[in-house]
Structure 1
Amino acid sequence: MQLYYFLAVILSLSLGSLPASSQSFARAAGFTALVIVAWWVLCYLAVRLVVRLIDQGEVDARVGYDWFDRQTECFRWFSLGLVLLCLGGFGLGRNFDQLPVVQDSLALQATVLLFPAMAMMSGLWAGEYLFAARLGLVRPNVWAGLKSIVATLRCSVGWLIAPIVGILALIDFVSLTSIGDQVPPWVAWGALGLVLVAGIPVLVRRIFPTTPLDDATLHWIRSVVAAAGIPRCKIVQWDTGLRTHNAMIAGLLGRFRVLMLSDRLVRELSREELAMVILHEVAHARRHHVPLRIAALVPAWLAGAALERGLMHDSLSAWVADWATDWAGTLGSALSLLATVLILRIVSYRSEYDADAVACRLAPTVSQVCADVPPTESEAGHQLAAALLRVTEDSDAARKPTWLHPGIGDRIDAFAG
């Protein structure tokens, strides 16, 4: 998942800790609506500007697409500032006490907090669809555009938002009924853990659109995954309309794991290249990278909670300014968020390098029982490098390092060396 989506969700939810505002909720909602309308207009004008340059022949379509892509990326990061303005400056996230129903529901509060970010993301997705339509890549149609926005939501940030809001709704249900008084805390936490382990793979399969794999390909992928050490993993093909090269593995245990491969990945990569992509994802599972990432974030949130408690503690009241006490929750959330981003950078890079190395080491063993798998570590490295270059050949930006992923060249140098 892109860092932007993660930050948009976490930042939005953390802004619920802001102190109450004297601004009325109606005025906050009105100003927020104006900002969102202006944002959608800006996205439209950005599309129109680049398309006009292409139509007039001042730039070719490839250069124009690159300009639009960079422009959209700048808009994404700028939108985080607008989210802060809407929720904090206007007070949309600071006046839940004015709403009788919302103030008693964590799920509804989360929905309100996430609304500005989701509205701005939708504006960007609508702009991307309109850009493709203006270039004749898709048919211009309002209904098709709405379906495109929903599909992008499902595949980008929807699988993160759905469990968060769902868990908060479950907490609301428990708190508003007598169940919460009858169930010991350890049982509640155990049930929550079970839901996370068993529910996320099911959620992934339901949220992402899928198409069936042909029997021969499915049998081969299952044999590779089983030989690599996770035999009960479910295999799913992600239907992207042949637009995306992507792969991911979700879930923590046995039958609750699901390996998702995009349709374009399966169609365009050779069997040897696809085998290395699969082994890379299997390596993430075997090396427990997901739980390790979660565990690595615990200190970040403990540090934020410690700062918040410290600022609000009576023994420190004489040393802490009144404003710091009022903003203790916000300052704690800010520290946690900053620490999270820094830790994710370190852990994400290390886990990617580790998964590449482990995949190359697994290949010779897997090749003894499965066809079309590189038989040596050196050949595995060659095929993995070819796969990485193939899936990024349409975008130079995809080959460059990002905050959560090392660059393609750096990865190839690491496992080839």
Structure 2
Amino acid sequence: MPLVAWVVAGLIVLRLVADLILMSLNAAEVRRHAGRPPEAVAAVMDAETYAKSSIYTLEKSRFGMLTEVFDTLVLALVLFGGVLPPLYHLVIGLGAPGAAWAQALFILCAGILLSIPSLPFEWWDQFRLEQKFGFNKSTPGLWVADKIKGGLLACVIGFPLVWALLTLVRWMGGAWWLWGFALVLGVQLLMLVLYPKLILPLFNKLTPLPPGELRDRLLVLGERTGFRAKTIEVIDGSKRSGHSNAYFTGFGRFRRIVLFDTLVAQLTPEELEAVLAHEIGHYRRGHVPKMIAMSAVSLFVGFGVLAWLAGQPWFNQAFGFPAGEIAPSFLLFALLSGLVTFWFTPVANLLMRKYEYQADAFAREAMGGANPMVSALRKLAQKNLTNLTPHPLFSAFFYSHPTLVERERALRSAA
């Protein structure tokens, strides 16, 4: 086996070991507090709910470990078991030598093939684990329909995009990756506009928030904070899950606030106003353009690394592909990049947490105090059985938001 293949194998094992250690540390932390939660946690969640939350976290952790081991074995089999090169030669044989559409078809077929092994695990998570704790609201038919729609969207959007990238490689020579970066960035920006209008309605029903006290309060809040969304909409998240959420989507005149119907049912109008103030805080503090800029930088670096790797004969050859063929390089990069970017996750999460604190502070100012936001956060933690005692290392890698205790402390300290 070539040296680069050994290096990749080492990175795969290292990632698996890191994931298992982090999950084990987190599970141990939950068990340590299961009988006697910390004082700060006991103040925000009753003993019965905390016990249920601990059991939920531990069962999800055990299942997560099993899934991680399985996914790693699948990745190793795909990379080192000689699965992909025969598929590549079979698919590209359908077209003329170097045909971009055939190479794009190979990447699409490989993506579909790689998604199949995880389906039983996704099914078990939805209809066993989530069902056990009362979160699953989906049906087998809806679950299958979602998978089919997702696959069709991958074909409709992904295939033309990959074909365009492969065509740029042929037309633009050594500068192809700069054009490719510009193309993908443009598509990402376009999707910010199209997703809530064209894609989201394929899976969920969006309805304007009906007239009433809640709508009046939220409209007044928007006027008071200088935020005029195109619309405030309610999404029927309850047809799939009992979990609740709210988010800000789009930009410019296409921006909108989306509230889960579960959230509307769980919170009081004042608490929902605080949640909306938090989302407005992301807008007023400029978090959306900042995150777009960071994504663009990451994308630029990624394309640069991809272009360099694609120019190295050993990259393709280490995994059984012909040197100089760009489609295998695309696929290999997609499969392997996460082994490296994983280690930078704590840095990204640190920045995301900073943004969450800023949005919380904005909500506190908009509501004239910390109580409405604190009350909303407590209810959300209770309803979603949130783990309130994660291990610090696990939290650093897997939590883009501060914990409830951390957020409440920050809200209270500045009150």
After TM superposition, the score normalised by the length of structure 1 is 0.62
Counting matched residue pairs gives: 328
Equivalent residues of 2:53, 2:387 under 8 A apart: no
1:235 aligns with 2:232: yes
1:237 partner SS: strand
> Which amino acid in 2 is paired with 1:214?
P
1:206 aligns with 2:201: yes
Instruction: Decide which of 287, 312, 315 is 2:285's aligned counterpart.
Output: 287
Deviations 1:104-128 (A, max 9, x none): 3476445334335543443233213
> Which amino acid in 2 is paired with 1:397?
N
Q: 1:117 to 1:328 in 2, by over 3 A?
A: closer
Q: 1:97 to 1:293 in 2, by over 3 A?
A: farther
Deviations 1:292-314 (A, max 9, x none): 22322444444455555556779
Whole-angstrom CA distance in 2 between matches of 1:260 and 1:84: 36
RMSD over aligned Cα atoms: 4.7
Provide structure 1 residue ranges, at least 5 long, that are not aligned to the other structure: 1-17, 20-59, 364-373
Q: Name the structure 1 match of 2:100.
A: 104
1:389 aligns with 2:368: no
Instruction: Decide which of 222, 225, 228 is 2:222's aligned counterpart.
Output: 225
**Greater displacement, 163-172 / 230-239:** 163-172
Q: 1:352 to 1:225 in 2, by over 3 A?
A: same
Instruction: State the shift of 1:163 in Å.
Output: 7.3
Equivalent residues of 1:224, 1:275 under 8 A apart: yes
Whole-angstrom CA distance in 2 between matches of 1:277 and 1:134: 27
Q: 1:211 to 1:251 in 2, by over 3 A?
A: closer
Instruction: State the shift of 1:245 in Å.
Output: 1.4
Instruction: State the shift of 1:64 in Å.
Output: 6.3
Q: 1:294 to 1:62 in 2, by over 3 A?
A: closer
1:128 aligns with 2:120: no
Deviations 1:244-291 (A, max 9, x none): 21111111222x123211111101111111111111112222323233
Identity, % of aligned positions: 18
> Which amino acid in 1 is paired with 2:210?
D
Q: 1:300 to 1:223 in 2, by over 3 A?
A: same
Provide structure 2 residue ranges, at least 5 long, that are not aligned to the other structure: 6-50, 173-178
5 Å-filtered alignment, 1:10-89, equals 65=56, 67-89=58-80
**Greater displacement, 396-405 / 342-351:** 396-405
2:263 partner SS: helix
- Larger RCO: Structure 1 or Structure 2 (Cα < 8 Å, ≥ 6 residues apart)? 2
Q: 1:152 to 1:126 in 2, by over 3 A?
A: same
1:354 aligns with 2:358: yes
Whole-angstrom CA distance in 2 between matches of 1:136 and 1:386: 23
After TM superposition, the score normalised by the length of structure 2 is 0.62
Deviations 1:388-412 (A, max 9, x none): 1110114142674433222111122
2:379 partner SS: helix
